[in-house]
Structure 1
Amino acid sequence: MSQILTLELSDRVFSSIQQQAKKIGISPERLAAILLEQQFDQVFKLLLTEAEKEVARAKFERHFGEINLGYATDVDNESIDADLAREYANTHEED
């Protein structure tokens, strides 16, 4: 759902919005709406209750995890280069 909001802007602000909108190929009205929505999204994030922040954090952390390759890995360049060479040489074709 959307609502119509009439605003009065200074000539300087409107001119700036108009120039930027023209550069990216949208109407000044659309650019102003996008800018307002982005600004309020940031404000709303700051206003979240601690419970809402915990829910958001839990949703985000569900993506955390680990992977077990079945063998130890190392972080030195030689080991990484050897792993890459082995993978590049593997055709992944089953016999």
Structure 2
Amino acid sequence: MTHLLTLELNDQIFIVIQRQAEAIGIPPERLAATLLEQRFGEVFKSLLSEAEKETARARFERHFGALNLEYVIDLNNDIDADLVREYASNHEEG
């Protein structure tokens, strides 16, 4: 569910939001809504009791290991081996 909220901002705040929104290619109202959701999402999380946090954590952890691709994948392949060698290399020649 979403709700329409009309805000009145001073010029400075609006310009900052507008410039940031343009830089990432979204409308300023979407950026403002996202910023509010992020900020108040954090506040909401801090208001949860320990029991509620534990319930949410358990609900999240139920998804661990739940991936079913319905086909076999081979993780031991040449590309992965090349990546391991590349990450382990210190790139020193000699």
TM-score between the two structures when normalised by the length of structure 2: 0.61
Unaligned runs of 5+ in 1: 65-87, 89-95
Q: State the match for 2:77 in structure 1.
A: none
Q: How many residues are matched?
A: 68
Q: Please report the RMSD computed on the Cα atoms of aligned residues, expressed in angstroms.
A: 2.4
Q: Give the CA deviation at 1:51.
A: 1.5
The residue identity in structure 1 corresponding to 2:47 is L
Distance 1:16 1:58 in 2: 39
Q: State the match for 1:53 in structure 2.
A: 53
Alignment of 1:54-73 (within 5 A): 54-60=54-60, 63=64
Q: Give the CA deviation at 1:60.
A: 4.8
Matched, 1:5 2:5: yes
Distance 1:37 1:11 in 2: 22
The residue identity in structure 2 corresponding to 1:53 is K
Distance 2:31 2:4 in 1: 14
Alignment of 1:67-86 (within 5 A): none
TM-score between the two structures when normalised by the length of structure 1: 0.60
Report runs of 4+ in structure 1 exceeding 6 Å deviation. none
